[in-house]
Copies of this chain bind each other. A is one copy, B any other.
């Protein structure tokens, strides 16, 4: 995860011509995304959370009682992929799978006290890392960027 210099010190400072790829917003989006994701992975590591288990924990704390289907929908992942995520959080006693009396097929997901405490610590840590990562971007620009990103996202969902 740490970023070492990969090029040898003896190389002729080869600069690859990026011009064609640089024409595309998607290219810049990917490069920035990689940096942010790597930072997030690194931030979550001490808490023994992956990006997906982190997102799931946050959504369960903020939406007590939601079902796995609803959670998968919110996380924009397929239900089969959510099972192992919920398994992991449950085994670590961060959440509970409670049976729903009115629909015995579904589970109501709830965070334990331990889960709620971990939530608070991780959200604070992620916020601090984000702040450092985006320190060079002024609030006005950040708003513009977020608005644009939301517009792009809406293109996908129709």
Contact = CB atoms under 8 A, between A and B. Distances in A.
Tell which of A14, A21, A36 has the most Cβ of chain B within 10 Å.
A36
Interface in A112-158: 123, 126-127, 130, 133-134, 136-137, 141-142, 144-146, 148-153, 155-158
Given A58-B20, A76-B31, A152 B127 contact: no
- Classify chain A's interface size: 35 or more
A40 interface: yes
Given A33-B33, A76-B31, A63 B16 contact: yes
A153 B35 contact: yes
A29 B149 contact: yes
A32 interface: yes
A39 B34 CA distance: 18
Given A23-B127, A36-B152, A133-B155, A28 B146 contact: yes
Nearest to A126: B24
A152 B28 CA distance: 10
Nearest to A78: B6
A7 interface: yes
Interface stretch (A66-74, A85-93, A94-102): A66-74
A53 interface: no
A151 B130 contact: no
Given A21-B58, A25-B149, 14 more contacts: A6-B73, A16-B63, A16-B70, A17-B62, A25-B36, A26-B130, A28-B146, A28-B150, A31-B76, A34-B156, A35-B156, A133-B152, A133-B155, A137-B151
